[in-house]
Homo-oligomer: A and B are copies of this chain.
């Protein structure tokens, strides 16, 4: 059974002690099993205290990031690439220290609208570097999960099939895919088929609507998503992600172009999402059982 998580920016973009506390409490109140933090700065956060609080609440934790432009590991500027490696290593350590097992997000390039088409050398540099970082992660008991994002947020890995090829090229067994329905809606020919094709390498999944608001109020056929996850027997973590202009993070809001108010009441949003995902997964399971029931007459 998947743990159902939620992205912390539903609750707050801040990381003060009280904001983190409220984030964890809200996560539990809304019925989620896991909290995903982005851009937590160890320098400003009592990591040990946070780890203890997460454990006490029985929550899981994952960390997602997007590399900055000046820390792009695919860059041909070795200083920039090295900075990216540093960020990845810190994130691995942070994840381990918080008691998590997954680093997710945009790791293969920087996060944001790129100015050039991707190149073969860029791909190779990124794959080679990640292969090494993945060893560091493995030693820390952490996996790398490459988020496959839309074209406006990275130029390198926009589809699950590209991600599979990229993982193959790294040669690593500690790199997986982080799929996200918001991005898949833009880039995949068929999100459900992409999930089936990538079954062996999916390590983390974001459940987000096409406009990043309330689940079910957009373009995405979530029943098809839940059916595909059920068909491949996916039982790993599944996190809800949603952004609104209500909660602004300087790093993320502009890169992801959050201009509209998709919701104001985050608790209403989160509880709705939890029910939506729960009922969706339950219904997908019932459907899969029914479609394969032999139903020979009993008597």
| B186/A295 in contact, CB under 8 A | no
Q: Known interface pairs A275-B279, A282-B272. Does A190 touch B287 (Cβ–Cβ under 8 Å)?
A: yes
Copies in the complex: 4
Q: Residue A213 at the B interface, CB < 8 A?
A: yes
Interface size class of A (residues with CB under 8 A): 35 or more
| A291/B210 in contact, CB under 8 A | no
Q: Which of chain A's residues 274-298 have a Cβ closer than 8 Å to chain B?
A: 275-276, 279, 282-283, 286-288, 290-298
Q: Which of chain A's residues 210-259 have a Cβ closer than 8 Å to chain B?
A: 210-211, 213-221, 223, 227, 231, 245, 253-254, 257-259
Q: Residue A299 at the B interface, CB < 8 A?
A: yes
| A291/B214 in contact, CB under 8 A | no
List the B side residues contacting A113 at CB < 8 Å.
113, 152, 257
CB nearest neighbor in B for A255? B113
List the B side residues contacting A262 at CB < 8 Å.
290
Which of A4-12, A17-25, A153-161 forms part of the interface with chain B? A153-161
Q: Residue A83 at the B interface, CB < 8 A?
A: no
| A254/B115 in contact, CB under 8 A | yes
List the B side residues contacting A210 at CB < 8 Å.
185-187
A169-207 Cβ-contact flags toward B at 8 Å (1 or 0): 100000000000000111111110110010000000000
| A283/B119 in contact, CB under 8 A | no
- 29 A-B contacts (beta carbon < 8 Å): A117-B245, A119-B297, A119-B299, A151-B257, A151-B258, A152-B257, A155-B259, A158-B260, A159-B293, A162-B295, A164-B294, A165-B294, A165-B295, A165-B296, A169-B296, A185-B185, A185-B219, A186-B211, A186-B219, A188-B291, A189-B211, A189-B218, A189-B287, A189-B288, A193-B287, A193-B291, A197-B292, A217-B283, A276-B283
